[in-house]
Amino acid sequence: MGLSENKINLIKNYFKDKPVQKAYLFGSTVTEKTTSESDIDFLVELDYSKPIGLYFVTMQYKLQELLRQKVDLLSEKAILKYIRPHIENQKRLIYERQ
């Protein structure tokens, strides 16, 4: 995976108290085809028993600040069906709530 152990730990700690059940990486970070312009692509399974609302957008900005890199954050429910197989083939679990 194209992320340092430090960044992986930052991500895991960040998601601990967020309404996130699971978080996956996909895209260039997983395929190790990153460049200096690459972003970090996340797919998250949200815990809808808690209010989400605009909190989802806030999570994206907070992750960008934390990682000092552009972040794309997608929810499991928002994936279009023609993109889903591509993401499913690439995704790598990085966080799972215990």
State both tokens at 6: 């430090």
Number of domains observed in the structure of the chain: 1
Question: What pLDDT digit, counting tens, does each position of 43-94 carry?
Answer: 999 998 888 888 888 999 999 999 999 999 999 988 888 999 999 999 999 9
Q: How high is the pLDDT of residue 88? A: 94
Question: Domain with 38 in it: what CATH number?
Answer: 3.30.460.10
Share of the chain above pLDDT 70, in %: 99
Residue-by-residue DSSP string for 25-55: EETHHHHT---TT--EEEEEEE-TTS--TTH
Domain span at residue 54 reads 5-96
- Asked if 34 contacts 2 with a C-beta cutoff of 8 angstroms, the reply is yes
Q: How high is the pLDDT of residue 1? A: 59
Edge-to-edge strand list for the sheet holding 71-75: 71-75, 40-46, 20-26, 92-96
Question: What pLDDT digit, counting tens, does each position of 38-56 carry?
Answer: 899 999 999 988 888 888 8
Residue 71, strand partner residues: 40
Place of tokens 């152990």: 5
Decide: pTM greater than 0.85: yes
